[in-house]
Chain A
């Protein structure tokens, strides 16, 4: 196991200090503040779970929770699956990779809000796509066009997350698809492994160290991000991120406690999902560490 791990030098650790101080310090301060605000009761300094009880008991809370979870999971799954399939294809058949990579870099640079507004302009019943199909005589204008954004099924939000996170996950995993991975894939192909088998036994374990954190980051954004839900969502159910920000900004200051309680619920969900994902993918990590004993570990 130790064979693969290069020891990190003290000098390298020291170089990380500024980053850790800023990113870690700010995140931890925010976490502590959110936790502290959510466990202090509305209108008093007493510590307790009263705010959580109130918020979780509000009519519509669970509808919003499950809706948020559903769009975040769907978007993340689509993005990750797309990134894995495309990344594997680039390893085995690199044709067109350069052009595609440039396009993906462009997508990565576009802010979420801009991308969401662009999707609205493109896909709304009176949007560009609807106008083009109308011109082609394919549907009956606004009424005939399917509702793809601001729709109650969250199609617009899922499309947004999938299309925005796929490039992120893919470009994050690319550094691990170098010569070694490609050679392993070629060997697998020689031994008769099909695409699905190659992805499962060679490609996924190879990129797992980056794929898993990137997937968790995508999920965290999908669940906590404000823009997709605000621009592409509906009034019922609204995503929890949209509700939390509205409460946080309410002139009624007691609503802030509720906003932080929602934020804590979202954080806890991300943490739980991370643990589940890490547990589910343990075999990949182990496989990567000991490639020669692959079959034994899986058994």
Chain B
């Protein structure tokens, strides 16, 4: 009797598994990638209620993690009945790999609902056709976004289309210590930086360009823009253009490394290491991308309270960052609600307040916000960027868009080959 029952259970389990496998494999790809329609927002809201949104985002900053949990989590729960599951990842490419793995396994209910993404990772998923299309510009708050701005509608030169919704913006800046360095002596171009570095040997370094260290890559691209004399020509990929200017770029960086920290024998591997060298007085500059400049770092105790951001006169690379929904996401409605919430003026105002620890800039265009209370919140937040922020007008004057995506790898692999000559 017992054996019979066990045999039956085994057979039933086998049949069940077979049925599952069959339904999974027969699931139609296009059916999988269709989601709720944001134009019928009430339907999205009611579908989202009770869902858990699995948001994969870079988890390397404790203050950003805290901001996400404390700012969006409660609103999602109380206003929309959605549970936020923040999945911290060491590098956004881990989320890309998860989506690719889910796709390879033919899993129609993917683990990833929303990814904080831009650049190369976006173009990888876009080219693989694994992102949900036709939702971003239909979100209610998408009307606050300046979609005509090429910095918004192109992500590292790649058309954003309707695949990504912006979250925030960032711009390359250097940070100095007002107690150590006189503002009049600051270099205001890459050429002046070289002079400064050689007048202060060992006091400057930058982050080794590479995966997870895009700030270093951006520093090198800025040099490329200045040396070539025109930032805008790098918006489209052109191998010949790269071949024309790369030798001069390496020559400049070799000159810089001769005067750099440790004679350029090694470089900090990430932002955290450069912040530490700066805070401990080993070097005189660090790098930030935050709208609040050094203020968020000061609030975190990572740099001295006298630290302040500044930009060169030209070629300060800035861009927007986005969220995207994989085509096989399990909770697309909740992901859309979250993407829309990110653009809410009150949330946008909260994200630039230094004390909140996020510190990246607006994704929306404040000029398009008409509601008086929301407008006031944005203005107040902008007025309270803290002592560590760079001059907003200088930042705006120096802002240029990033180079097209294929240059990213050329810069990173070329830098490793030319500057350190190894793997």
In whole angstroms, how far apart are the Cα atoms of A24 and B211 in the complex? 32
**B235 lies within 8 A of chain A by Cβ:** no
Please tell me if the beta carbons of A250 and B269 are within 8 angstroms of each other in the complex.
no
Contact of B281 among A142, A234, A237, A246 (CB under 8 A): A142
Contact of A235 among B91, B120, B121, B267 (CB under 8 A): B267
Chain A's interface size range is 20 to 34
Please tell me if the beta carbons of A237 and B423 are within 8 angstroms of each other in the complex.
yes
Residues on the B chain within 8 Å of A251, using CB: 93, 96, 120-121, 124, 211
Assess A238 versus B423: contact at CB under 8 Å? Given A150-B266, A230-B269.
yes
CB distance from A213 to the nearest CB of B (A): 31
Assess A236 versus B420: contact at CB under 8 Å? Given A246-B210, A249-B211.
yes
Please tell me if the beta carbons of B277 and A126 are within 8 angstroms of each other in the complex.
yes
Tally of B interface residues using CB under 8 Å? 29
**A252 lies within 8 A of chain B by Cβ:** yes
Residues on the B chain within 8 Å of A58, using CB: 423
Secondary structure dominating the interface of A: loop
Assess A238 versus B282: contact at CB under 8 Å? Given A126-B277, A249-B94, A251-B96.
no
In whole angstroms, how far apart are the Cα atoms of A61 and B417 in the complex? 12
Question: B251-284: contact bitstring with A at CB < 8 Å (1 yes, 0 no)?
Answer: 0000000000010011101000000010011100
Please tell me if the beta carbons of A235 and B93 are within 8 angstroms of each other in the complex.
no
CB distance from B64 to the nearest CB of A (A): 20
**A110 lies within 8 A of chain B by Cβ:** no
Contact of B421 among A60, A126, A252 (CB under 8 A): A60
Assess A63 versus B422: contact at CB under 8 Å? Given A235-B208, A246-B210, A252-B409.
yes
CB distance from B106 to the nearest CB of A (A): 18
Which A residue sits closest to B119, measured CB to CB? A251
**A59 lies within 8 A of chain B by Cβ:** yes
CB distance from B270 to the nearest CB of A (A): 10
Residues on the A chain within 8 Å of B210, using CB: 246
CB distance from B276 to the nearest CB of A (A): 8
CB distance from B219 to the nearest CB of A (A): 15
Residues on the B chain within 8 Å of A147, using CB: 262
Interface residues of A (CB under 8 A from B): 58-61, 63-64, 124-127, 142-143, 147, 150, 152, 230, 234-238, 240, 243, 246, 249-253
Query: 4 closest Cβ contacts across the A-B interface?
Result: A60-B422, A126-B280, A234-B266, A236-B420
Interface residues of B (CB under 8 A from A): 91, 93-94, 96-97, 100, 120-121, 124, 202, 208, 210-211, 262, 265-267, 269, 277, 280-282, 409, 416-417, 420-423
List 15 contacting pairs A-B, 8 Å CB cutoff, sorted by A: A63-B423, A124-B280, A126-B277, A127-B280, A142-B281, A234-B265, A235-B266, A235-B267, A236-B421, A250-B93, A250-B211, A251-B93, A251-B96, A251-B124, A253-B100
